[in-house]
Amino acid sequence: MSAIIKPKDYKSLLNLQQTEQGIKLIKEFFQENLSAELRLRRVTAPLFVLKGTGINDDLNGVERAVSFPIKDMGDAKAEVVHSLAKWKRLALAKYHIESGYGLYTDMNAIRADEELDNLHSLYVDQWDWERSICAEERNIDFLKEIVNRIYAAMVRTEYLVYESYPEIKPCLPQKIHFIHAEELRCLYPEKTPKEREDAICEKYGAVFIVGIGCKLGDGKKHDGRAPDYDDYTTEGLNDLPGLNGDLLLWNEVLQRAFEISSMGIRVNQETLLSQLKEEGEEERLNYYFHQKLMAGELPLSIGGGIGQSRLCMFYLRKAHIGEIQASIWPEDMRKECLACNIELI
């Protein structure tokens, strides 16, 4: 049987037509607020990039990218993007976007190695954003300021949903709680990282976990992160390493932590070298992206991704991401969902 969470007595609060209207409402309102909060302009983004340039996001470093040959380029291989973490920084330089301003885009991706469940689909849609910063802003206080701005846009969007659909009651707290992954480990030493996320999110409702990718006191990482975009080794929260993190919400429908966004201050030349060395990935310095960064041709930046379908799923109180987006699902999962009143698009 498929690995899905089946909420007891689940029934969608909205029908299919209301759901589609709600998705449109949320996406339009939130991206306008995100743009205003962070001073971002919208740009057009690629669906695929050339293999071997180092531009594609490596996520945890093990996921395979969907690739295909390009006939008019001597069968050179293109890869469907996982996300646009590196491409956006190149775009900041190309558009000559100065410090204090940035860009965002609608990112669509295919992640063929995803383990399918309530939250994970083969198809990924998110707002990818990146903002130029100055050297003085490479600190944890600035990261927290940006997180708070994004969260403020999320709280406003939730109220809009409530105004449009009064049966959906607001549940987000007014403030987000910050904690480092090492502090979280010490708080719940017997739990797994995912169990820790559940515990802290149930307690606070909205949490930003700092230090994703750095090794913790037990020698393990809270979660993986590619070593060549987020800076997870520079001193961050409470003198612990990490200028990045994950934004999670407590999902009452699924009774679990719910990751909405991953973001962080990006590596500079020094931290790129040290993180690649630590992971044994120094050969990446031969790639186009990395050479541009080492040559000082890319601006310092902060950026991240915010899941569009996940955000809609949370606001509309849906039990499965397949109630928000059209994708491919195993037949046994479809049958299980149907038996639990979960109608996949």
Tell me how far CA of residue 38 lies from CA of 11, 128, 131, in angstroms: 36, 13, 8
246, 309, 317, 323: the catalytic one is 246
The reply to whether 262 belongs to the active site is: yes
> Annotated catalytic residue: which of 12, 121, 261, 262?
262
**Residue in 110, 105, 121, 103 with CA at minimum distance from that of residue 81:** 110
Greatest distance between any 2 Cα atoms in the chain: 58
Q: Are 7 and 338 in contact (CB under 8 A)?
A: no
Contact indicator for 249, 206 with CB cutoff of 8 Å: yes
Catalytic residue among 35, 79, 111, 308: 111
**Active site annotation includes 126:** yes
Which is catalytic among the residues 57, 198, 228, 323?
57
Q: How many residues does the chain have?
A: 345
Whether 147 contacts 176, CB under 8 Å: yes
What letter does residue 317 receive in the DSSP assignment?
Answer: T
Query: Active-site residue 246, yes or no?
Result: yes
Would you state the structure tokens that stand for residue 196, as one six-digit string? 């820790």
Cβ neighbours of 127 (radius 10 Å): 23
Helix (H) or strand (E) holding 128: strand 123-132
Strand partners, 230: 266
Indicate if 111 belongs to the active site. yes
Task: Kindly name the residue from 126, 132, 261, 301 that is annotated as catalytic.
Answer: 126
- Give me the active site residues, please: 57, 111, 126, 246, 259, 262
